[in-house]
Structures are given as C-alpha cells and as structure tokens.
Amino acid sequence: MSPDSIAALNARHALPGLAAIIDGANGLPKIHVTTPAASAEIYLHGAHVTSWRPAAPNGKAQDDVLFLSRQSHFAPGKAIRGGIPICFPWFGPKSAKLPDEPSLPQHGFARTTAWTLDAIQHHGDAVLVVLSLASTPASHTLWPHDFRAQYRVTIGAQLILQLEVTNTGAAPFTFTEALHTYHHVGDATQVRIAGLDATHYLDNRDGLREKTQHGDITFSAHTDNIYLDTTASLTLHDPALARTITIDKQHSSTTVVWNPGAEGASALADMADEEWQYFACIEASNVRNFAIPLDPGQSHTLTAILRSQPHP
C-alpha cells in the first residue's frame, strides 16, 4: 500500500493518541492501538491480529498474549504465522462443499486476503476496530457464494473477537470457521488447558478417530484435536510466564487445540524449529459436522473473548 493510501486511511479513521495506521512488515499496513488498558496490532492483510498486550495490575504491559513466528511470511497471498488467523469459509484443506483439490488454499482465503477497514472507534477504556470482507469474482473461483464478513475487534483489558458472516446471495450455503489463536506461552511442555475433561474429540493425528479427553490437556508431542459439541470456557495455565489466560466463546460448538511439536515445526517453512515450545493454539470454531448453514439474508456471529491474569 502506498504512503498516500495509508495517509488517506489515517485521515478517515485514526484516533490521535490511540490508533493509527502505519507500515508493518514488508510494507503491509497495520493498525497500531495503544490505550491505558492494552496495546494491539492488526494487519489489514487477513484482518490478522498479531499482538495484544493488556496492562498488568501495576499498569505495566504484560508479555504479549499472542505468539508470532520470527520467520512468518508477510506477503500478499501468504498467511501470517501466529497471532489470530481467520479460517473461513472452510477449515482445513478444503471446503465441505468442494472436492479435494491441491489448488484450494488451506483454511480458506480470508486469512490471505486484504480486508477493508470500516471504522475505528473509542469506547471508554477500549478501542473497537471494524474490518470487512465481501465476495468478489476472484473469491467465486474458490467458493461460489455471495457473502459479507465483518470482523469486530475490541481492544482493552480483554480482547473481544466477533466474526459475523452474512449470506448476501440468493441461495443457501454452509461454511466452517475458526479463530486460529496462537497463545504465547513460556514453555508448551509445562502448560495445562482446563475445561474439556470428558469431552469427545477427533484426533487428527490418528485418522480423526473419536476419543475422550481425560483431565487437562498437556503437550508431550504433536497435538491436533477437534473437541466436539462444546461451548465450554477454557483456562490456559502457564507456569513459565506466571499467568493464566481465559478463553470464553459464544456461538461456537467446537474447539480446536493444536501444537505441532518438534517434528511438525521442522516441516513448516515459516516457523523456526524451536518455536513450537512457545505457543498453544486454542481455537473457537465451528468445524466438521458443526458447520454453519445460512439461508439468504441470514447472519451468524462467532465470538471469542480472551483475558490474561498474572499469577499473584
């Protein structure tokens, strides 16, 4: 994006002292937000939240709640590795309505497409950023449906993510979605994720065989689980960084938990081999048999709410 375009966006949307649009990595525009309650960064590329640092009780910024790989691509057509990618209109290698084709992008096209900045608003101690994405002739070549997606990100003492999808066409469609959140942790082998005990899940490392969770989730190897029919709030206990992250969600019937482990990380070109140790992905989602059907004119909103609390 040219400096003139960034200047135009600032003239329309910037909030002096709170929010501005600036050049990010490789010249991709990003929104930088700083309030007494938190700071954050959001790229227009993929409407991708790459940083959220809430203030600690002493007023100082905490460690970033989100992980971002130092080898991440920041380029048109490529996904950013880390932060909160938006998986839409399908999760995984293909849409539920389309055949397996190598040309179809993993996790859909929303995370690799530039979104439109609609508004930046100040609400008390928080800043609301609103971005949108609509169907185009290019998107129709991948997914033949008319839609409008609006992403509302509220940055404050908590991070609120609201992805609303509307069917703007004349025919019904079905989609899957996930907010693929990379939580920054001090040591993935020490964390515990509580809230899914006795929940059934599909183990993607074992041919999607259905299993049952027993106790808290821990990472001892590559983990890729889809927890089914659950609206539970989760708590990520991180002893290495001495904090607890709480993940609440609304209108979400599945939760994905992922960490590639050493073996999986070494296969990813946009992740350093050791970086798997520093994140835990916990994703509010609607995937597999919990896909969302929308008739013409209908909307659905997926919400995730993150809170971070230092240990006493």
List residues bridging with 310 in a β-sheet. Answer: 243
| Nearest partner of 302 among 284, 283, 288, 289, judged by Cα | 284
Q: Is 283 a catalytic residue?
A: yes
Tokens 């993993």 correspond to 106
| Nearest partner of 244 among 194, 285, 197, 199, judged by Cα | 194
Instruction: Give the three-class secondary structure for 12.
Output: helix
In this structure, are residues 176 and 288 in contact, taking their beta carbons and an 8 Å threshold? yes
| Nearest partner of 262 among 278, 271, 270, 274, judged by Cα | 274
Task: Report the Cα 147 to chain-centroid distance in Å.
Answer: 20
Cα-Cα-Cα-Cα dihedral sign, residues 81, 87, 91, 93: negative
| Nearest partner of 292 among 186, 203, 163, judged by Cα | 163
d(CA 200, CA 265): 26
In this structure, are residues 293 and 172 in contact, taking their beta carbons and an 8 Å threshold? yes
Task: Report the Cα 24 to chain-centroid distance in Å.
Answer: 18
The residue annotated as part of the active site, out of 180, 183, 184, 275, is 180
Cα-Cα-Cα-Cα dihedral sign, residues 176, 43, 71, 61: negative
List residues bridging with 283 in a β-sheet. Answer: 256
Read off the tokens for 307: 């809170």
Q: Is 180 a catalytic residue?
A: yes
Active site residue ranges: 180, 283
